[in-house]
């Protein structure tokens, strides 16, 4: 019981420090945890269309991107270049998904 109280106090202390030191990150995290609920459970048609459109685009370009990354000549790459090259596809995928999430909201 004593350990639980100690951990809870440390967690609250961390959150207080985060709110003071990083207010933007704290506000984003707070909005994610305690966001507004849509009680009517309606789906915005723009969101629905954009998510579907994004899924079609991602599904169309991912196989070509994977094929291009797999067949590229990387024999002369240094270790750093090879490590960065493997991250490029993931970064592009994340950027495309985030773009469609922003358009849908």
> Could you read off the pLDDT of 50-102 as tens digits, one per residue?
778 877 877 887 788 778 777 878 788 888 887 887 787 778 778 877 777 77
Q: What does the pLDDT read at residue 37?
A: 67
Which residues have a Cβ under 8 Å from the Cβ of 66 and sit 6 or more positions away? Answer: 89
Q: What is the mean pLDDT of residues 36-56?
A: 73
Cα distance between residue 45 and residue 51, in whole Å: 10
pTM of the model as a whole? 0.36
Distance (Å, whole) CA 1 – CA 9: 13
Measured CA to CA, the distance from residue 22 to residue 25 in angstroms comes to 6
- Residue 1: its pLDDT value, please? 54
The whole-number pLDDT of residue 20 equals 92
- Three-state SS for 76? coil
Can you tell me the mean pLDDT for 4-22? Answer: 85
Per-residue model confidence (pLDDT) at position 61: 78
pLDDT of residue 3: 65
């Amino acid at each position: 019981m004593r350990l639980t109280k100690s951990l809870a106090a440390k967690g609250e202390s961390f959150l207080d420090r985060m709110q003071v030191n990083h207010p933007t990150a704290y506000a984003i995290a707070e909005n994610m945890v305690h966001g507004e609920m849509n009680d009517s459970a309606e789906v915005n048609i723009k969101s629905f269309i954009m998510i579907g459109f994004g899924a079609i685009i991602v599904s169309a370009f991912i196989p070509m991107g994977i094929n291009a990354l797999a067949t590229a000549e990387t024999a002369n790459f240094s270790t750093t270049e090879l490590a960065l090259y493997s991250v490029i596809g993931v970064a592009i995928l994340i950027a495309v998904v985030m773009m469609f999430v922003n358009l849908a909201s």
